[in-house]
Every structure is written in structure tokens, then in C-alpha cells.
């Protein structure tokens, strides 16, 4: 089983003063065999992809504050996904914003109602 490490970029993974990551290169080469580093950032696809290429990783990443999650092609079996996907530069993108947020909100409201109904039955 692999461990997933989620990291912001600016000021977290990248040095806050000069945006370098040279201190982490050795660390990354050691942990990427057993772990995956998943960046979540306000940066664009191109900006994050450039960093991933420089540190030689090919893991999923989240762009523009959660607007889309990009997975390398063949990372999952996407035939089972029933939502719109984006194919871009050997990556598959799953948009998170727009209608998907409305669906998520509706699902959360249904769950909350079930919890509240259960709570009122118990008390």
C-alpha cells in the first residue's frame, strides 16, 4: 500500500523565499517508491507539471485551488467514471467546480438530513 502525501507548493514544498525545492530532491527520490506526492495548489496545470517534470514524478495533482484534479493517463480505469473528463497532455482531468459542486452540496444536504432525522428518532 502506498502512502499519499498531499502538499501545497508555495511556501510549503517550495521554499518561501526563493521558491526552490533543491533541499527536497533527495527526500523525494527516497520516498516516491513507497509514497505519492500529490500537489494541491492555486498554480495552473502547466506550472505544476513543470515542477513535477523537474523532480521526476508523475503523480496526480490538484490545480487552481481545487478546480480540477489531473491524473496521469492509465492511472485508473476511467471507463468506470460517469462524469465528464478532460484529456490534456497525457493526463485525465476531473473537473471539480461548477455542476459537480452543486451535486456535492445536494448529496451533503441529503446526508445531513438523514443524520438529523436519525438523531431526532434516537432522542
8 in catalytic set? yes
Q: Is 68 helix (H, G, I), strand (E, B) or coil?
A: strand
From the list 46, 102, 54, the residue with the least C-alpha distance to 70 is 46
Helices and strands in the chain, H and E counts: 3, 6
Residue with cell 498531499: 6
CA distances to 2, 69, 117 from 61, in Å? 16, 6, 38
Catalytic residues: 8
Amino acid at each position: 500500500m502506498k502512502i499519499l502525501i498531499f502538499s501545497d507548493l508555495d511556501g510549503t514544498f517550495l521554499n518561501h523565499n526563493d521558491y526552490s525545492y533543491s533541499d527536497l530532491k533527495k527526500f523525494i527520490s527516497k520516498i516516491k517508491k513507497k509514497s505519492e506526492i500529490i500537489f494541491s495548489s492555486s498554480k495552473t496545470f502547466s506550472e505544476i507539471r513543470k515542477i513535477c517534470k523537474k523532480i521526476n514524478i508523475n503523480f496526480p495533482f490538484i490545480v487552481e485551488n481545487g478546480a480540477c484534479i489531473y491524473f496521469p493517463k492509465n492511472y485508473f480505469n476511467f471507463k468506470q467514471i460517469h462524469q465528464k473528463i478532460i484529456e490534456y497532455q497525457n493526463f485525465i482531468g476531473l473537473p471539480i467546480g461548477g455542476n459537480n459542486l452543486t451535486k456535492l452540496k445536494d448529496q451533503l444536504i441529503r446526508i445531513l438530513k438523514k443524520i438529523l432525522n436519525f438523531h431526532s428518532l434516537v432522542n
